[in-house]
Amino acid sequence: MKGLLVKDFCLLRQRIKFFILLFLLTIFMTFSMDSASFAVGWVSMLMAILSLSTLSYDEYDNCMPFLMSLPASPRDYALEKYCFSFLCGLAGWIVAVVMMLLTLIVQGKTGVLVEELLGSFMIIPVALILPACCIPVELKWGAEKGRMYLLVVYGIFFALLGIAYRFLPKMSGTFFAKLDAAVKPQTVLILLIILAVLITAVSVMISFRIVDKKEY
């Protein structure tokens, strides 16, 4: 699996110009936005999702038969995609957090450091959940087709969210206000971590079943 990880890091290096742009954009966002931790979330999730573009690279040159004949099983291949997206998300998170802290110190906003840092920690499990939802779909239907299906699913999800927001404004407002007051951020973080681990475990099992049945 180590070899597959190295392969994906080499492939991701192709996007170096994009990373520089992302880096500059993060600096801009941390300076210009009220919530500095928003930039951390944005970068981490983008990095985790971007890591999945290596699936497209593998498909593009019909690499799969050859990759599956290397000393790695199809399950290793699937598992590696989870590890790789997590590592990418984590790398993006670390860089963004360091930049956020430096920006806040430069701006003299040292009072909100702890609050923003805590908010940033909540991003890690979310950055884990996002690829966990994408990987099985892309393994099943291929990177391009899988991404199309995901767009449709996300579209439906946000449409439902919009309908709920329109029809239940008072109820949801009261509910979230009460929830916000009752639950401590630390509890939310722990709940998010448990949820991320559960979703990832289920996602890995689904991916294993998909690659076990697949022919190359």
Partner 1 sequence: MIEIKDLSKNYGDFHLNISLRIEEGRVTGLVGRNGAGKSTAIKSILGLIKPDGGSVTVMGKDSARLTAADKENFGVAFSDSGFSTYLTIRDVVLILENMYKDFDKAAFLDACKKCRLPEDKRLKDFSTGMKARLRVLIACSHRAKLLILDEPTAGLDVVARNEVLDMLRNYLAEDPGRSMLISSHISSDLEGLCDDIYMIHNGKIVLHEETDVIVSEYALLKLTPALYETIDKKYLLVTRKEPFGYSCLTNQRRYYAENYPNVVMEAGNVDDLIIMLSKEE
> Under the rule (CB under 8 A), what is the footprint of partner 1?
2-7, 10-11, 14, 57-58, 60-66, 68-73, 76, 215-216
1 vs 189, which CB is nearer to partner 1?
1
Q: How far is the CB of 58 from partner 1 (least distance, A)?
A: 7
10 vs 151, which CB is nearer to partner 1?
10
Q: How far is the CB of 62 from partner 1 (least distance, A)?
A: 5
43 to each of 26, 33, 46, 182, how far by Cα in Å? 7, 14, 5, 30
Residues 6 or more apart whose CB falls under 8 angstroms from that of 197 comprise 125, 128
Q: How far is the CB of 70 from partner 1 (least distance, A)?
A: 6
What does the DSSP assignment read for 69-113? Answer: HSS--HHHHHHHHHHHHHHHHHHHHHHHHHHHHHHHHHTT-GGGH
Q: How far is the CB of 44 from partner 1 (least distance, A)?
A: 25
63 vs 113, which CB is nearer to partner 1?
63
Tokens matching residue 59: 């498909």
Q: How far is the CB of 191 from partner 1 (least distance, A)?
A: 37
* Gap between the Cα atoms of 212 and 170, Å rounded: 48
Cβ contacts of 72-76, under 8 Å, gap ≥ 24: 72/1, 72/3, 72/4, 74/211, 74/212, 74/214, 74/216, 75/208, 75/211, 75/212, 76/1, 76/4
115 vs 212, which CB is nearer to partner 1?
212
Tokens matching residue 185: 């951020």
Question: Which single residue is written with the structure tokens 């997590």?
Answer: 86
50 vs 192, which CB is nearer to partner 1?
50
68 vs 133, which CB is nearer to partner 1?
68
Q: How far is the CB of 7 from partner 1 (least distance, A)?
A: 5
